[in-house]
Structure 1
Amino acid sequence: MEITVNITRSDYWKYNKYALFNIPKLRNRFIITNISLPFIVIILLLLFKLPLVFSLCWGVFGGGLACIFSYLSMKKRVMSIPESKEGILGERRVEINEIGIHQLSSVSQSSYKWSGVRSINQNDEYIYIFVDTIMAYIIPKRSFVTEKESLEFYHQTQIYFSKCTP
């Protein structure tokens, strides 16, 4: 089964957002950082002998701003990737068969056997075939002519993958 996909900045951002909130390692790091930051600010302000209420307010406010800033800076970094950044963005052909998944673009090609695939996930817009903790093939569902085709593709990946996992 073969499909041609075109990965845009928006697709890459949505993948990064999906990874941040759905991959336990990344999600936990994000949560711990964003929870600990207000406490660090509060402790620092208290060390400077500032009033407790002032320290609490600025700790929560400053921590909240830091959370928003880190999220927005991540988005800015992803969205600033040039459209000409082939290899990450652009058109590619993705093929799945009983051996594995193969991707071919104008600048690269890659292949993974199903035994090298870690997981296959989907949401409303994408199918993600993870080959590492945070590295995945991004398959936009808009690349399929019909929703039925995207479901068939997803189910076929599940069949191939399940044959290789114990």
Structure 2
Amino acid sequence: MIKTINISKEDYLKYSNYAVKRLWKSKNKSTGFLRNMILWFFLAIGFMFIFQVKATTFESFHWQSAAIAIAPFLIFIVAYYLNVRKFKMLCIPNENGLMIGEKTIEVNAEGITETNPLGNCFYRWKAIEAIEEYEGSIYIFVDNLLALILPPESFTSEEEKDQFKGLIKKYV
């Protein structure tokens, strides 16, 4: 079976988000450093507030000091998310390069051949780790993070998509 596909920047970003979540779930069962830091921050504020309620009244509570104490944490959180977003945008591949652009995928008994304007790559069936579907796209993972992306527009119908997945699963 031969499929000609066109991967857009949006398709790649959707794949990138999915791949990172998939990798994170499979390797790490924790909730993440930033989430834990925020949780412990609010727990500490809550405990301090509970212990101080009897000692002070709201009239004597110094809201300016509380705002100054919270400001560095809020600045850190905003800076963190802005840097993550900037890093994600810097990691987008070139248009009409190896990942984004038009390519042809050929599936046969030996494996999968991916051909694009810059070259081609052959993957034997033992290199395929998983085939997963997310929001209509099919991802054929050949490593933990690397996958062949087949956007929903690559298929004319659900039957064709199911036939393609069945062909891949036959060999994997």
Superposed counterparts of 1:14-163, under 5 Å: 14-24=14-24, 28=28, 32-35=32-35, 38=38, 54-55=68-69, 57-58=70-71, 60-78=73-91, 81-84=93-96, 86-161=97-172
Structure 1: runs of 5+ lacking an equivalent: 43-50, 162-166
Partner in structure 2 of residue 11 of structure 1: 11
Unmatched runs of 5 consecutive residues or more in structure 2: 43-64
The TM-score with structure 1 as length reference comes to 0.74
Deviation at 1:120, TM superposition (A): 1.1
TM-score (norm 2): 0.71
CA–CA distance in 1 between the matches of 2:29 and 2:85?
17
The whole-number CA distance in structure 2 between the counterparts of 1:92 and 1:24 is: 29
Identity %: 26
* Cα distance between partner residues in 1 of 2:102 and 2:30: 31
What is the deviation of 1:65?
Answer: 1.7
Equivalent-residue separation in structure 2 for 1:133 and 1:26 (angstroms): 10
Distance in structure 2 (CA, Å) of the matches to 1:28 and 1:62: 27
Whole-angstrom distance in 2 between the partners of 1:106 and 1:36: 46
Counting matched residue pairs gives: 150
Taking the aligned partners of 2:73 and 2:16, their CA distance within structure 1 comes to 26
Distance verdict in 2 for CA 1:15–1:141, change over 3 Å: same
Question: Who is 2:60 aligned against?
Answer: none
User: Which residue type is aligned with residue 104 of structure 1?
Assistant: T
Hey, what's the Cα distance between the residues in 1 that align with 2:159 and 2:25?
A: 33
RMSD: 3.1
Distance 2:10 2:29 in 1: 24
Contact preservation (8 Å) 1:34, 1:63: no
- Is the contact between residue 119 and residue 129 of structure 1 (CA under 8 Å) also seen in structure 2? yes
Name the CA shift for 1:27/1:63 in 2 (closer, same or farther; >3 Å): farther
Higher mean C-alpha displacement, 125-134 vs 66-75: 66-75
Answer yes or no: is the 8 Å Cα contact 1:20–1:27 preserved in 2. no
What displacement does 1:121 show?
0.8
Secondary structure of the equivalent of 1:133?
A: coil
> How far, CA to CA, are the matches of 2:143 and 2:104 in structure 1?
20
